[in-house]
């Protein structure tokens, strides 16, 4: 077998494939949905291609070619216009922001800035369309709820607002973009943005066709089955589920709450807080891609602009949402500043530290947690991708190690249990076996949070006393 295909196979078989579909675009093969509701490339079709294609497949894969990691890519893109931050990558400025004009904010998951910047680029003639994730009609239980598409009008762009916690692949939309003229904004999560940047190195036409790239802050990707589990938890069966909206706004809904709406085929809408559904609490790891355990990019460091939730105390009180913006591109920065000056958006500077702290859980998972997981898998003599964090690089307490082990176990267990529940059409199979594991994890996390908060408080007291002794401050 071709050595490059073996590398792709290692990624897929090892559970490190995010299903982005960039390799499938190169190979002109299909991306298939497996029984767990995840995308995987057709390896057999790739084997037949081999040769000239296989080297490019490896080059675009987010889990291979560490010589093309986020640091390398972003340095080429942004080092002349931005300063490097160890957590956020290259940064011009970081802001908290929301759209004041129109219905961007009310229609968006948070502050509406993703849709706003897309339309702003379109209005200024800087792009001809947007490549982003859109809702699709479902015919079968295993069908996706969302997929990549192209929008070329303001109305179409607006219709695809809101974040999608859902697997997606880009092979089909890249075919469309390759066969048409135009310049596009690409919006995606960090791993797919990284794949697009690598594709631009492999095929310079995509650097021209995609002059702007926006990343969403990402905790991890969820399988199609997670969406089905939310619907089932709201008493809509998988075969009767037509649509899902992951976050809903309201005066009585806190900014951090994940209140979702599931819609049946007969248009019945059920609303529920995902924290009250088995496996619904986002960071528990249920029905997530195992590949996400081996990602070290929280904020899309290779993107021109990163957009997330400004989970910062002074902004969280506003239940209608405020975005975190990490700006790396001068053209986009100028558009934002101009709109802020004309009172079309709210935008206030925040520090890099505040931006990092707003995603503290994600950074803990992708730094300390990744360091431990790499060490764990190396100890099991398992092939793992080379990341910017080394195995065992960050000292990790015994309790934190147990938490990371439990999360990984929940990811594996939930995949198998939900598949069995689908086959037997019995939701209780998933609920009964997952509930004890999720409760165990929650207790461990609460214990860890208590110790962390206590340590931070003692540290602040120590620093205050030290400051008084040294500087005579009262």
Structure tokens at 51: 């040769």
CA dist., res. 10 & res. 5, Å (int): 9
Q: What is the mean pLDDT of residues 329-358?
A: 97
Residue 369 contacts residue 362 (beta carbons within 8 Å) = no
For the chain, count helices (H), then strands (E). Answer: 19, 15
How confident is the model over 372-384, as pLDDT tens digits?
999 999 888 889 9
Per-residue confidence (pLDDT) for residue 402, from 0 to 100: 96
CA nearest to 195, candidates 330, 22, 340: 22
Q: Give strand pairing partners of 271.
A: 261
Torsion sign (Cα): 376, 381, 385, 389: positive
Q: What is the mean pLDDT of residues 440-460?
A: 76
Q: What is the mean pLDDT of residues 224-229?
A: 98
DSSP string, 115-128: HHHHHHHHHTTS-S
Above 60 in pLDDT, residue 152?
A: yes
CA dist., res. 229 & res. 287, Å (int): 9
Residues 6+ apart with CB under 8 A from 462: none
Per-residue confidence (pLDDT) for residue 306, from 0 to 100: 98
Q: What is the mean pLDDT of residues 119-144?
A: 97
DSSP alpha helices (H): ranges in 39-182?
43-49, 51-60, 70-78, 104-107, 113-123, 154-159, 171-178
Q: Which DSSP category does 204 fall into?
A: T
Q: What is the mean pLDDT of residues 53-57?
A: 89
CA nearest to 346, candidates 92, 95, 120, 123: 95
How confident is the model over 73-115, as pLDDT tens digits?
999 999 999 999 999 999 999 999 999 999 999 888 899 999 9
Per-residue confidence (pLDDT) for residue 232, from 0 to 100: 98
CA nearest to 133, candidates 142, 120, 144: 144
With cut-offs at 50, 70 and 90, classify the pLDDT of residue 54.
confident
Q: Which residue has the tokens 């310079």?
A: 204
Q: How many residues are recorded in the chain?
A: 474
Above 90 in pLDDT, residue 20?
A: yes
DSSP string, 217-283: --S--B-HHHHHHHHHHTT--GGGEEEEES----TTS-TT--EEEEEETT--EEEEEGGGSTTTSGG
How confident is the model over 300-317, as pLDDT tens digits?
999 999 999 998 988 887
Per-residue confidence (pLDDT) for residue 456, from 0 to 100: 58
């Amino acid at each position: 077998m071709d050595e490059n295909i073996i590398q792709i196979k290692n990624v897929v078989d090892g559970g490190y494939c995010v299903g982005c579909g960039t390799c499938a675009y190169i190979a002109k093969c299909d991306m298939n949905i497996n029984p767990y509701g995840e995308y995987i490339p057709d390896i057999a079709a790739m084997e037949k291609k081999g040769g000239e294609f296989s080297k490019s497949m490896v080059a675009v894969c987010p889990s291979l070619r560490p010589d093309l990691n986020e640091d390398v890519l972003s340095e080429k893109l942004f080092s002349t216009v931005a300063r490097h931050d160890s957590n956020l990558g290259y940064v011009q400025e970081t802001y908290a922001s929301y759209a004041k004009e129109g219905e961007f904010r009310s229609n968006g998951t948070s502050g509406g800035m993703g849709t706003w910047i897309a339309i702003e680029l379109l209005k200024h003639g800087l792009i001809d369309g947007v490549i982003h994730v859109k809702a699709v009609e479902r015919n079968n239980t295993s069908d996706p709820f969302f997929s990549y598409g192209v929008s070329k009008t303001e109305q179409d762009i607006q219709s695809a607002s809101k974040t999608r916690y859902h697997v997606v692949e880009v092979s089909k939309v890249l075919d469309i973009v390759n066969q048409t003229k135009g310049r596009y904004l690409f919006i995606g999560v960090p791993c797919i943005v990284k794949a697009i940047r690598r594709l631009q190195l492999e095929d310079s036409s995509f650097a021209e066709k995609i002059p702007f790239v926006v990343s969403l802050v990402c905790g991890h990707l969820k399988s199609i089955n997670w969406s089905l589990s939310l619907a089932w938890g709201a008493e809509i069966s998988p075969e009767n589920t037509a649509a899902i909206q992951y976050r809903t706004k309201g005066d009585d809904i806190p900014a951090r709450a994940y209140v979702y709406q599931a819609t049946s085929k007969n248009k019945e809408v059920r609303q529920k807080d995902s924290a009250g559904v088995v496996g619904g609490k986002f960071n528990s790891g249920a029905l997530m891609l195992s590949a996400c355990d081996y990602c070290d990019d929280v904020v899309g460091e290779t993107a021109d602009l990163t957009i997330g939730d400004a989970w910062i105390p002074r902004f969280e009180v506003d239940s209608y949402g405020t975005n975190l913006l990490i700006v790396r591109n001068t053209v986009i920065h100028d558009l934002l500043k101009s709109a802020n000056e004309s009172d079309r958006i709210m935008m206030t500077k925040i520090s890099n530290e505040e931006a990092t702290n707003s995603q503290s859980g994600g950074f803990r998972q992708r730094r300390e947690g990744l360091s431990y997981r790499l060490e764990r898998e190396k100890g099991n003599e398992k092939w793992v991708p080379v990341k910017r964090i080394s195995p065992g690089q960050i000292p990790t307490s015994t309790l934190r190690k147990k938490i990371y082990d439990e999360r990984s176990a929940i990811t594996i267990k939930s995949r198998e249990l939900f598949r069995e529940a689908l086959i037997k059409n019995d939701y209780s199979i998933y609920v009964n076996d997952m509930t004890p594991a999720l409760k165990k994890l929650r207790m461990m996390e609460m214990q860890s949070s208590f110790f962390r908060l206590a340590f931070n408080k003692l540290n602040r007291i120590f620093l205050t006393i030290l400051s008084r002794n040294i500087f005579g401050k009262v």
